[in-house]
Amino acid sequence: MCVNRVFCVSLQPEKQYLNIMATINVDVKNVLGTVTAEQIQALDPEAASALEKLHKGTGLGNDFLGWVNLPSEITDAHLADIEATAKALNDECDYIVAVGIGGSYLGAKAVIEALADQFAQLRPMDDPRRCRVLFAGQNIGEDYLNELQDFLADKKFGIIVISKSGTTTEPAIAFRLLKEQLEKQVGKETAARRIVAITDEKKGALRQLATEEGYKTFIIPDNVGGRFSVLTPVGLLPIAAAGYDIRALVEGARAMQAATVAEGDGNLSWLYATTRNALYRAGKKIEIMVNYNPKLHFFGEWWKQLYGESEGKDHKGIFPASVDFSTDLHSMGQWIQDGERTIFETVLSVEEVAHNTVIPSDDANLDGLNYLAGKRVDEVNKMAELGTRIAHVDGGVPVIRVTIPALKEKYLGELIYFFEKACGISGYLLEVNPFNQPGVEDYKRNMFALLEKPGYEEATAAIKSRI
């Protein structure tokens, strides 16, 4: 029997949610040594207000709430258009370079890496339905770009360029270089067929170029910010080009959208948001996203941007960090176990892996591992996870556990929307605007001034006087 609803919601969702409940699970019982169920439930009135702001558009940043109902608004025709475009690229290309930065690349990268064979780049290309998706524009690394261009010099490649304005420095540099290379390799006419622009509907440099050159285009919705854009063509087209099922991804997001409408702990996004904010108010200022599957590394990177850019304002916000266990237990494990107690963990667990590898017996047994003979590698991994969770809780680290059945498109769609909805609720609990990013502009202004961009003459003089 449940002794309180917070302890048990992760084990037995309220009955009215069972038919629409997505299949991920959230377990918060291992935070109750740090905060009480009553402290978490005390945030319910604030969470109700936050949820209402998201659904009615009455809160800060309400012009960027297009993601809230996005999954249920995606049409079959829209998905078919994305799939047809991906097929057209696959018919002509072996490699697609997705050019973008921040939310314009992290969502697609997270999903593709979670689903892909981790050694696919080393294997022969034998599936005509999928391209190898590479990424550019997420850095200003000269060696990176030079080596990418060198790799593509004798390859059949295309470009998906993602930018609202077309003038964001990092992707604009990469696109200029790759566009020139592609046109030289195949000619302007063929290059135009192999370039897809995902940009503003009417304005901006990329929109103008796409119109002039006749590129196939998709629209970045005005009311969806970059870090919430993975379920728009920004994420869906690269994922489809990589050969994955975007319909299942959207189906999962729709299930989670339906499951996070109502108030209360049966809404898993509500539960996660209130729990992490109760911990924050109790002095836990750092949240570490933990995975035990290396395919989820870039999911952690996507999550870091989602929460860092949404919550880090007005000198508030939980600092998001991510680690890959058990790898990082051999580098960060000591600090997490015995360091300053300002942290909590959110562990992302995967119930079933795709393969079955059994540890063999060895007659010599020099490594002493025969006690593991006959066990699956994943069983050892699961025990490493369980043992670490127990150790960290014993060491004073509260642990939230989020579990998904497997790394499949539907479950990743659920997970994406779950974290997005929780982020919106959590940002309003912090009393910040979760949907802007004013601080990001500071480095850009300094960079433009230092590079002597036209129009920045006064800023250039001012900043050069400081160096």
* 439 φ, ψ (degrees, to nearest 5): -70, -25
* 73 φ, ψ (degrees, to nearest 5): -95, -10
Strand order in the sheet with 157-162: 132-136, 95-99, 157-162, 195-199, 216-219
Under DSSP, the state recorded for 419 is: H
- Other beta carbons within 10 Å of 88: 16
- First-to-last C-alpha distance (Å) of the chain: 66
Under DSSP, the state recorded for 43 is: T
Q: Which one is catalytic: 73, 444, 452, 464?
A: 444
Dist CA 355 CA 290 (whole Å)? 22
Crossing angle between the packed helical segments 409-429 and 44-56, to the nearest 10 degrees: 110
β pairing state of 95-99 and 132-136: parallel
Q: Could you confirm whether 444 is annotated as catalytic?
A: yes
CB 165 within 8 A of CB 130: no
Tokens, residue 187 = 């000619």
Q: Which one is catalytic: 15, 315, 330, 355?
A: 330
Q: How far is CA 233 from the centre of its chain?
A: 15
Dist CA 449 CA 465 (whole Å)? 12
Burial call 410-441: b when 16+ CB within 10 Å, e when fewer: bbbbbbbbbbbbbbbbbbbbbebbbbbbeeee
Q: Which one is catalytic: 170, 309, 345, 385?
A: 309
Q: Could you confirm whether 297 is annotated as catalytic?
A: no
Dist CA 219 CA 412 (whole Å)? 23
Tokens, residue 5 = 């609803």
Dist CA 232 CA 219 (whole Å)? 8
Q: What residues form DSSP beta bridges with 322?
A: 289
Count of residues making up the chain: 467
Closest CA to 260 of 129, 421, 377: 421
| Sequential DSSP letters for 303-359 | HHHHHHHHH--TT--PEEEEEETTGGGGTTHHHHHHS-S-EEEEEEEEEE-S---BP
Q: Could you confirm whether 309 is annotated as catalytic?
A: yes
CB 444 within 8 A of CB 389: no
CB 107 within 8 A of CB 229: yes
Dist CA 84 CA 65 (whole Å)? 28
Which residues are known catalytic residues? Answer: 309, 330, 444
